[in-house]
Amino acid sequence: MAKYTAIGGQALIEGILMRSPEKTALAVRVPDKSIDITYIDAKSLRDKYKILRAPVVRGVIAFAESMIQGYKAMMMSAEKSGFTDVEDEKPQTEEEKAQSKKKWDKVMNAVMIFGAVLGVALSVVLFMLIPRLAVKGLEALANTEFDKIVRSSIEQLIKLAVLVAYMYGVSLMPDIKRVFMYHGAEHKTIFCYEKGLELNIENVRKQRRFHPRCGTSFLILMILVSLIVSTVVQLIFPGVYSIVWLWVLAKILMVPVICGIGFELLRICGKYDNLFTKIVSAPGLWLQRITTKEPKDEMIEIAIAALRAAEPEIPDVDRSIDERQSDNNE
């Protein structure tokens, strides 16, 4: 039976990021087809301030740090893999290379800031404002006012529909499809590791690509938790929903609470296998049919290299197979 491990990952452009409590490693397929391993300094605020390790609070911090680190890792993988290279503008001298690198860093910092602002704006419009206006429109058409629970349920269903449509749309893009294939390789490799099997392409290929601790599942959990939290807020403050800008503001303020609760549920689903966790995990596992694809062998090779690089000195799962392999090699 598979055992929970604290190792988690993220699919990148021609690479994979793996995190453990001790190390964070980035494995990327570089232009000469070799695998580049880069270790990233990933010290968390949770290690510095004990209060930030409290349940729910740790989820908010983990989510924010994961977003920042993941975006930086994506930019690093794009650069290392040659994804951003433009052949006819390739610098010829070391000085030109240094200048080009500085320009690239500035551009990426600007892109990261712009992307963050745009992401927040789109999130507010797509997942807060549009569902709110859609419910008001339905109430007007029906010439009635929905019950608070019904109202919240409709909003969350609209959010879910928007999320699934967005995920499916981007999955049709060739470059994103490759990232989703790396996502599948990451999940399969972690499953293989958790089962205590030898980490090789054949063993990894046999594993499932749907993992309960995936970030995709986290997105679904946030929508489900949002249903409960927003309903409770409406019951406590019944007048807040009637004022559009105030309700959108309230939804924004709810995000940290929703993130924190969703994080705790995700941890529970990763640690335990029972009826409750299966029900909670089911929607996220279903969505992973879109966000993960069957990987190629060379992608699995990247995932194995990333996991090996990030593996803690004392594994949190039974890895006695590694000791037997070492004895056989001797």
Provide, rounded to the nearest whole percent, the portion of the chain with pLDDT above 90: 24
Return the structure tokens found at 176: 């994103």
Is the per-residue pLDDT at 89 higher than 70?
no
Which residues, including other chains, have CB under 8 Å from residue 78's CB and lie 6 or more apart? 12, 13, 84
- Each domain of the chain, given as residue ranges in start order, spans 8-84+107-317
The continuous run of DSSP H or E covering 160 comes out as: helix 148-171
pLDDT digits (tens, 9 = 90+) for 244-291: 778 778 888 888 888 888 888 888 877 777 888 788 888 888 889 999
The one-letter amino acid code at 118 reads L
At 223, the pLDDT band (50, 70, 90 cuts) reads confident
Is the per-residue pLDDT at 111 higher than 70?
no
Which residues, including other chains, have CB under 8 Å from residue 226's CB and lie 6 or more apart? 156, 159, 254, 258
CB 327 within 8 A of CB 61: no
Question: Quick check: helix, strand or coil at residue 274?
Answer: coil
Is the per-residue pLDDT at 157 higher than 90?
no
Q: What is the mean pLDDT of the chain?
A: 81
At 106, the pLDDT band (50, 70, 90 cuts) reads low
* Amino acid 88: pLDDT: 46
pLDDT digits (tens, 9 = 90+) for 176-220: 899 999 999 999 999 999 898 999 999 999 999 998 878 777 777
CA 99 to chain centre: 33
At 166, the pLDDT band (50, 70, 90 cuts) reads confident
CB 78 within 8 A of CB 26: no
Least confident of 49-53, 135-139, 215-219: 215-219
CB 14 within 8 A of CB 36: no
Return the structure tokens found at 297: 């062998």
C-alpha–C-alpha distance, residues 149 and 165, integer Å: 24
Return the structure tokens found at 216: 């995709």
Antiparallel, parallel or unpaired: β 24-29 and 35-39: antiparallel
Calculate mean pLDDT across residues 106-117: 56
C-alpha–C-alpha distance, residues 8 and 312, integer Å: 12
In order of 110, 218, 233, 249, the CA distances from 117 in angstroms are 11, 22, 27, 16
* Amino acid 285: pLDDT: 86
Provide, rounded to the nearest whole percent, the portion of the chain with pLDDT above 70: 83
Q: Which residue has the higher pLDDT, 280 or 292?
A: 292
| Residue that is written with structure tokens 């499916």 in the block | 168
